[in-house]
Structures are given as C-alpha cells and as structure tokens.
Amino acid sequence: MPTTGLLPYYVSEARKLTRAPEVYHLASIVTLLGAVLDPVACAYLTWDNGLSRRERLFLWTLLIGPAGNKKTYSSELALLAVLPHVEKRHRSGEGGRRALEDMLIHEPNPVLHVTEAASWFANNRQAGSMEGASFWTQVYDGYYMPRNRADSGDDASARIRVGVTLLLMGPDEEIIRTTRRSDWMGGLIPRLNICRAGRIKRGPGGAEWPPEILNRIRKAVDRIHGLAEKAQYLVLTKQARVTWERWQAKHDRMMETVSELHENIGSRVPWHVLRIAAIYAASRMSTVVERRDVVAACNFGRFLRGCSLSMEPKS
C-alpha cells in the first residue's frame, strides 16, 4: 500500500479493532474509495503516439477465505468510513441480474455489498448464456443497454453510462463448489479482483470505530472526493506509465505459461492495477499518479493475481 495518505492510516487503525487479515482491510477500502472517486473523476493515460485512454475507477472485488475470518466485518468497517458518499447508492443482498438491470436505469453508480457471494453468483449465473456474459461485459466497460432499448441496435445514445462497484465475500470452498468452469471463462467472474486469506486465531469478534478516528477518516475521504471532483482527471506521469507498461508486459508473458482458465481469470489484472494506482494517488491527496503509486499497485496486483491463479472450479 502507499506509505503516506489515508490508506496506511486506515489499515493501521482497522487492525486495532479486529484480527482480520490486513489485506482484507486494504482491498475493502480501496474498492469503496473507488466508488467515491469514479462518479467524479477518472484516470487519464497517454501514449507517445498521441493516443490516450480514460480509465474508470470503480472496482469489482471478491474477499474469500475460510468461514469466520472476518471478511464481512472488514468490508463493513470500510463501508462506515465512506458511508456519507455512498449511502444513497449502497445496496446489500443477493439479488439477481434482472434486478440490477432495472436498478441501473434509476441509479447508474450503485455500490453492491454482498455477504453471500456463492448465492449471488448462482442468482447471476451466466453459464451457457451469451446474454448474461454480454451484460457483465457492458457494465464493466461502463455502459448498459436496457432491455427495452434493445431495438436501438448499437445506437450510443440509447446506452446508460454506469459505474457499478462490487464488494463481495464468501467462503472459498463454497464458491469453488457452487460455480462451474464456464462461470469463470467470461462475463462476471474474470473481472473480479480476488483477494484470498487464510484462517485467523479465535478471539473477540471486533469493536466499533472510535468516534474520533471515524471522524478523521471521513474528513480525509471528503477531501479526496473534493479534490477529484474539482480536477476530474488523475493523470499518470510518463515514468509511472512506463513502469506500468513494463509490469503489464511481464504479466502477459506469465499468462502464456498458465492454463486457458487461469489466463482468462488473470487477463484483466493489469487494468485493475492501473485503477488501483490512481486510487492510491488520490488517497494521498494527489491528482498525479506517480511511479511510487504504480509500484505499490503492481505489488498488490501480484498478490491478487496469485489469489486468482489459486482458484480452480470443481466442475
């Protein structure tokens, strides 16, 4: 994680409240900070040939591990920290894709907090369904074509611009058991940042945020939101871009040595890393994504990639 700014402070304070793995706190707050930033700003990446890309900042994250290792508690601590900025967009539960489609018409930037990921995957099953895979691909790309506008063809004016944040969690064995190989080959699941941690020692369940700490964290989130809202773009320096491109090239070479399933699951990690680097920069009150942000994000991305490659559906 970055060495300065909100994130290291947040994680250090969260660790005082629970024995949950540190990486759960980092993954949760980064995902939800992306939900704070995405409606008001994006990352701006330029190449030497004059081409450019605007990268959205929302993330889809799955916390997995043994039952009882504080996945839900870690995510709820992060939700409390950003609640004033996501309260009206926050949705919890295990609803199906059709319900989400209908919701997007009225709320294009929802924050979905799902504590039973296995059930949620079952309700959003895409196996053998091109329609389902197409829906999640569209949503991840930042737009959505409502069913009642399907006769508009590829008319861009008929699309709704969306930015869906997903923070899901569940026991890893249950998720592996209830999903199929086809679920992992396209659409929803390959677009997740999978964050896996092991068992923890038993003990007290956890404490609430001390009011003064929560107030301090929320003031920092307010400042980050205001800075991004005013700037609208978080721009990568050339050195940061070069560092990211080198890491992406190494990642792509590694993906050539793994199975087709794992290549598919890990294919989007470099773009997740770019979004995380931009969120890291914003978390230290900067609109310039520097090399140090990319280096820290690449290290986190390496961990997330390892978690993804450890997953193997049973059927």
Q: What is the pLDDT of residue 148?
A: 66
Instruction: Write down the pTM of the prediction.
Output: 0.93
Question: Which among 62, 2, 3 is positioned nearest to 28, based on CA atoms?
Answer: 62
List C-alpha distances in Å: 246 to 57, 235, 242, 251, 268: 21, 18, 6, 9, 15
pLDDT tens over the chain, length 315 residues = 889 999 999 999 999 999 899 999 999 999 999 999 999 999 998 876 667 889 999 999 999 999 888 999 999 999 999 999 999 999 887 677 888 888 888 899 999 999 999 888 888 776 455 567 788 888 999 988 887 665 555 566 778 899 999 999 999 888 888 888 888 887 888 899 999 998 887 766 678 999 999 999 999 999 999 999 999 999 999 999 999 999 999 999 999 999 988 988 888 999 999 999 999 999 999 999 999 999 999 999 999 999 988 888 777
Token pair 């993906």 is found at 255
Measuring CA to CA, how many Å separate 72 from each of 113, 170, 190, 315? 9, 8, 22, 27
Fold of 6-198+229-309: Rossmann fold (3.40.50)
Among 84, 96, 99, which Cα is nearest to 35's?
84
Q: By three-state DSSP, how is residue 109 classified?
A: coil
Q: List, in sequence order, the alpha helices (H) in the chain.
A: 6-15, 22-37, 71-86, 97-106, 117-123, 130-141, 172-178, 211-231, 238-255, 260-266, 269-283, 291-309
Specify the residue for token string 């001390």. 210
- Compute CA distances 100 → 127, 145, 177, 199, 295, whole Å: 18, 13, 25, 33, 35
- CA–CA separation, 283 vs 279, rounded Å? 6
Predicted pLDDT of residue 246 = 96
Q: What is the pLDDT of residue 111?
A: 95
The residues, ordered by sequence, that sit 6+ positions from 88 with a Cβ below 8 Å of its Cβ are: 107
Write out the H or E segment, with its range, that includes residue 43: strand 42-46
Strand partners, 166: 60, 112
Strand order in the sheet with 42-46: 52-55, 42-46, 233-236, 288-289
- pLDDT value of position 6: 97
What are the structural domain ranges in the chain? 6-198+229-309
